[in-house]
Amino acid sequence: MNSKKLLLCFSVFAIQGLSNSVIPVLPELAGEGNASPAVSSLLYSGYFIGALLTLLPFGILSDRIGNQKVVGLGITLTFVSGLFISYSDNLWVLGISRFVEGLGCGAFFPAAYSMLAEWENSQRSMGEFNFLLNAGLASGVFLSGMLAEMGIKTAIDIFVLMAGFSFALLLWESRTWDHSGRKNKKSGTSEREGSGKKPEAPMTFKPERYLKKTGETFFENGFWKLWGISVLLYGATGLLTSNYADYSADFLTKPELGLAISASYVAAMLSSLAAGRTRAKNKNIVRAGIILAAAGILFSLKAPLLAFFLIGAGGGVAVVGLIAAVSRISSSGIAMGLLNTGIYAGLGLIPVFGSLFIEPLGYETVFFGSALVLLTALGLKLE
C-alpha cells in the first residue's frame, strides 16, 4: 500500500469514528440542565451542517490548489476540533467544534474521492475506502456505547488519538511535496501521483467562473441524475434511521435497536468491498443499491435487523457505483463535491422534511411512501 492510500484509508476511519463516537453520549455532552432534544440535535446536526455548506466549496478549492492540500486541511480540522471536543465541556465550544469537524469532513471527502477516482483500479480502491468509512462509523457508535461507563469521552479520546496519528502521517507525507503540491525530485515519484491531474495555475479567483463550471458539471452527461439518486437514496434511509427509535419504542429495546443499526454499517462494509470488486456496469451497481435499500425500508415494518442490514448493503453498493459513475464524467473536486453535497443534503434535509408528514399520516405510511419514491429512481436512464 502506497503512502497516500495509507493516509486516506486510515484517515477516513478516524474521521468517521470520531464523528459517530459522540452520538450515544449526546445527552451527557449537552450537560445537566441542557439535555433537551433541541440541544442534543444541535450538537448532532452541527457536523452535518458544516459538511453540507463546504463540500462543494472545498471541492472547487481542491481543483484550484490540489487534492493533497485539501485532504490535509480536512485531517487538520478534524484533529483540532477533536481536541476541543475531548478537553472542553463548554456547550458553545462543543457546538462550534462539531461544526468545525463538519468543515473537516467537507474538505476531506471531495478531494479524497477525486484522488481515488484517478488511481489505477480505482473502483477497487473506492470499495476498500468505503469499507473503512463504514467500519469507522460502526466502531464509533459501538465503542462509545461500550466504554461510556469508563467515561463519556473515552471513545472520543481514542478517535482523537487516531486523528492525531493521521495528522502525523500527513506531516510525514507532506515533507515530499513542494509548494505546488507535487512530489519533489528526491522522492522519485511522478508529479501528483495519486491524483492524476495538476492543480490549476494560480490566478485571480473569479466566483462567476466557478459557478459556471459547477453548473456545467451538474448538467454534463446526466450528472444531475446521479445527484438526484444520491439525495433520494440517503434521504429515504436517513428518514427511516432518524425516526426509527421513536417508531420502535414499543417493540425494541435499546440494545436491540443498537444491534439493528450496527448491522447496517457491517452490511455497508461488506457490500462496499463486493461492489468494488465486481465487473458489473456502474448503472447496474447503483440500481442494485436502490433495490436493496428500498427493500430494507419495507422490511423495517416487520423485521428490523434484516431491514437495516439491507439498507446498509444498499447504501454501500450504491455509493461505490455512484462515485465510479461520476468519475467517468469527471474526477474533478467540483464533481465529487457536488455528489457529496447530494448525499449530505439527503441525510440532513430529507429527514426533517419527511418528519413533517409523520404526525398526520403515521410512521408506516411515511416509511412506505419513501420506499416508493426511492424506487422511482430506477426509471432514470443512466449511461
At residue 107, the pLDDT reads: 93
Lowest mean pLDDT among 24-38, 84-98, 336-350: 24-38
The per-residue pLDDT for 368 is 95
Name the DSSP class of 151.
-
> Helices 91-118 and 3-21: crossing angle, nearest 10°?
150
**In sequence order, what are the residues at sequence separation of 6 or more whose Cβ sits closer than 8 angstroms to the Cβ of residue 190?**
183
- Higher-confidence residue of 270 and 260: namely 270
pLDDT at 152: 85
Confidence of residue 38 (pLDDT cuts 50, 70, 90): low
Q: Between 194 and 71, where is the model more confident?
A: 71
- The mean pLDDT of 28-57, rounded to a whole number, is 71
17 touches 317 (CB < 8 A): no
**Mean pLDDT score, 354-373:** 90
Question: Cell 458489473 identifies what position?
Answer: 280
Q: Higher confidence at residue 164 or residue 142? A: 164
Q: What is the mean pLDDT of residues 148-162?
A: 90
Q: Is the dihedral of CA 369, 375, 381, 383 positive or negative?
A: positive
The residue type at 247: Y
Least confident of 138-147, 148-157, 184-193, 228-237: 184-193
Query: Mean pLDDT throughout 162-170?
Result: 94
Model confidence at 254, in pLDDT bands (50, 70, 90)? Answer: low
pLDDT of residue 209: 65
Diameter of the chain by CA atoms? 67
Instruction: Taking residues 191-202, report their average pLDDT.
Output: 47
Model confidence at 198: pLDDT above 60: no
pLDDT for the residue 296: 96
pLDDT at residue 185 in the model: 43
- The rounded distance, in Å, linking the Cα atoms of 8 and 125 is 10
Percentage of the chain modeled with pLDDT above 90: 32
The confidence score (pLDDT) of residue 188 equals 40
Set out the domains of the chain in order of their start, with CATH numbers.
1-182 (1.20.1250.20), 213-378 (1.20.1250.20)
Q: Residue 330 and residue 336: Cα distance in Å, rounded?
A: 8
**Segment 238-247, tens digit of pLDDT:** 888 777 777 8
pLDDT at 158: 96
- Is the CB of residue 248 less than 8 Å from the CB of residue 117? no
Burial class of residue 92 (count of CB atoms within 10 Å of its CB; 0-12, 13-18, 19+): exposed
Better-predicted residue by pLDDT, 47 or 71: 71
Give the pLDDT of residue 69: 92
Q: What integer best gives the mean pLDDT of the chain?
A: 82
Mean pLDDT computed over 251-255: 72
Does the structure show a pLDDT above 70 at 27? no
Check pLDDT > 70 for residue 201: no
- Residues 308-356: tens digit of each pLDDT: 999 999 998 998 889 888 888 876 777 877 888 888 888 777 887 887 8
